């Protein structure tokens, strides 16, 4: 029998807990003890939000998460009256948004079971938003279950996390990722292995690399950057190139979506009509949507730069592997010659310092530092011996 948990790659330890909770939630005695707030943490790509959504489906599905019934399908597509999936496109979740969610979920669940709220980016809650949420989580006797997702437990405010049950997802093994690509996405085994290794357990990224020519060619260009850092001038050029490539990749996926959303909104207000509707409310709504889209695209560019920096970090990691004689452990097997040449001409301790600088730059970007300036400063450091 299929199950909504089938798609959680390499997370058997969590699936057991979730299935146990689903089973307990169905008996009237044990359901009194149902945990009302959960935090799912795990590295990017480990599937923390997929795990939360699967749990939500299983809680409202008459068959404990079959993945086939109308309840399961509606829940996944955000179309179920008892399941809310909150995806943040902006950089933070504000208190007004949380209040709005609380109003929406204040009703008793329509089917008499559970009402489930999945919040995919609980790390983006502002402090006042988190406090508003805290009150709802603490309310006794409710039929609402909160599933919060964040990269690590430290990204969730202590007041909230102390009231949640914590589930930590693992980075799936490369074999597990490759297997999913082959079986689920019909990707050839050679390509699946290659993509799984390069993406280091990030399933979404692995699939993207395996299926997009542009993603692969962009990655090759990014991975050439460490080899081009021969002067400060080259460092500035490399920073610009990195930001350009990342922006291009982010825009490619968002442009089409933006246009479709605006079209849909205009249709809803009666595009082409000269009535007051479009002239007043419609124009305002389009403007608001455009603002939202801009904030989303800023975030996507940041995510894309972050991915590029992680890729570059794997280059220096590979250099270290070669320097300590563990050549078989390198990730970027398609660059073996470049990596060996670099390893033989650079001091051993410099790679670890470079990786450290990359991680610091990522942290600054996550704190909203300006992307180009941050990348320029980083490339100047990487250009040093
Ligand atoms: Zn179902």
Q: How far is CA 229 from CA 237, 346, 363, 381, in A?
A: 9, 13, 22, 10
Q: What is the pLDDT of residue 277?
A: 52
- Please give the distance, rounded to the nearest whole angstrom, from the Cα atom of residue 59 to the centre of ligand 1: 9
- Please give the distance, rounded to the nearest whole angstrom, from the Cα atom of residue 74 to the centre of ligand 1: 9
- Please give the distance, rounded to the nearest whole angstrom, from the Cα atom of residue 64 to the centre of ligand 1: 6
Tokens of residue 173, six digits:
């093994």
pLDDT in tens, 329-359: 889 988 999 999 999 999 988 999 999 999 9
Q: Can you tell me the distance from the alpha carbon of 52 to that of 102, in angstroms, rounded to the nearest whole number?
A: 19
Residue 372: closest CA among 223, 233, 229, 238:
238
- Please give the distance, rounded to the nearest whole angstrom, from the Cα atom of residue 28 to the centre of ligand 1: 20
- Please give the distance, rounded to the nearest whole angstrom, from the Cα atom of residue 30 to the centre of ligand 1: 21
- Please give the distance, rounded to the nearest whole angstrom, from the Cα atom of residue 66 to the centre of ligand 1: 4
Q: What is the pLDDT of residue 371?
A: 94
pLDDT band at residue 30, thresholds of 50, 70 and 90? Answer: low
The H or E element containing residue 81 is: none
* Residue 38 or 263, more confident: 38
Angle of CA points 195, 349, 245, to nearest 5°: 40
Contact 199, 209 (CB under 8 A): yes
3-state secondary structure of 107: coil
Q: What is the pLDDT of residue 300?
A: 82
- Please give the distance, rounded to the nearest whole angstrom, from the Cα atom of residue 36 to the centre of ligand 1: 21
User: Strands, DSSP E only, in the chain?
Assistant: 37-41, 83-86, 115-119, 144-150, 165-168
From the DSSP assignment, how many helices (H) and strands (E) are in the chain?
A: 16, 5
Position of tokens 């909203």?
Answer: 368
Answering whether pTM is above 0.85, one says: no
Question: Which residues, including other chains, have CB under 8 Å from residue 58's CB and lie 6 or more apart?
Answer: 3, 4, 5, 18, 19, 22, 64, 65
373 pLDDT exceeds 60? yes
The H or E element containing residue 322 is: helix 283-323
**Across the chain, what does the average pLDDT equal?**
87
CB burial readout 10-31, b (16+ within 10 A) else e: bbeebbeebbebbeebeeeeee
């Amino acid at each position: 029998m299929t199950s909504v948990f089938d798609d959680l790659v390499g997370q058997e330890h969590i699936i057991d807990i979730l299935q146990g909770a689903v089973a307990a939630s169905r008996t009237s005695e044990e359901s009194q003890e149902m945990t009302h707030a959960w935090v799912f943490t795990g590295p990017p790509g480990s599937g923390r939000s997929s795990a939360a959504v699967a749990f939500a489906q299983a809680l409202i599905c008459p068959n404990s998460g079959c993945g086939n019934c109308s309840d399961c399908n509606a829940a996944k597509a955000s179309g179920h009256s008892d399941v809310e999936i909150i995806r943040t496109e902006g950089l933070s979740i504000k208190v007004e948004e949380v209040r709005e969610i609380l109003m929406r979920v204040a009703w008793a669940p329509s089917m008499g079971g559970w009402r489930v709220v999945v919040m995919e980016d609980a790390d983006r809650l502002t402090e006042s938003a988190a406090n508003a949420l805290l009150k709802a989580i603490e309310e006794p006797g409710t039929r609402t279950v909160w599933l919060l997702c964040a990269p690590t437990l430290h990204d969730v405010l202590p007041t909230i996390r102390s009231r949640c049950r914590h589930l930590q997802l693992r980075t799936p093994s490369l074999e597990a990722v490759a297997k999913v690509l082959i079986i689920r996405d019909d990707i050839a085994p050679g390509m699946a292995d290659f993509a799984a290794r390069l993406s280091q357990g990030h399933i979404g990224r692995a699939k993207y690399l395996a299926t997009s020519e542009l993603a692969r060619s962009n990655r090759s260009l990014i991975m050439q950057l460490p080899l081009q850092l021969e002067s400060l001038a080259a460092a500035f050029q490399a920073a610009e190139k990195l930001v350009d490539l990342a922006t291009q990749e982010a825009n490619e996926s968002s442009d089409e979506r933006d246009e479709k959303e605006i079209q849909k909104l205009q249709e809803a207000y009666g595009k082409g009509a000269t009535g007051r509707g479009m002239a007043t409310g419609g124009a305002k709504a389009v403007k608001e949507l455009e603002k939202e889209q801009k904030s989303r695209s800023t975030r996507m560019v940041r995510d894309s730069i972050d991915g590029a920096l992680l890729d570059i970090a794997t280059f220096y990691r590979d250099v270290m592997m070669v320097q300590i004689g563990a050549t078989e452990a390198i990730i970027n097997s398609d660059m073996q010659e470049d990596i060996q040449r670099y390893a033989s001409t650079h001091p051993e301790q410099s790679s670890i310092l470079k990786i450290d600088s990359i991680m610091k730059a990522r942290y600054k970007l996550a704190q909203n530092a300006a992307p180009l300036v941050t990348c320029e400063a980083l490339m100047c450091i990487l250009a040093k011996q």
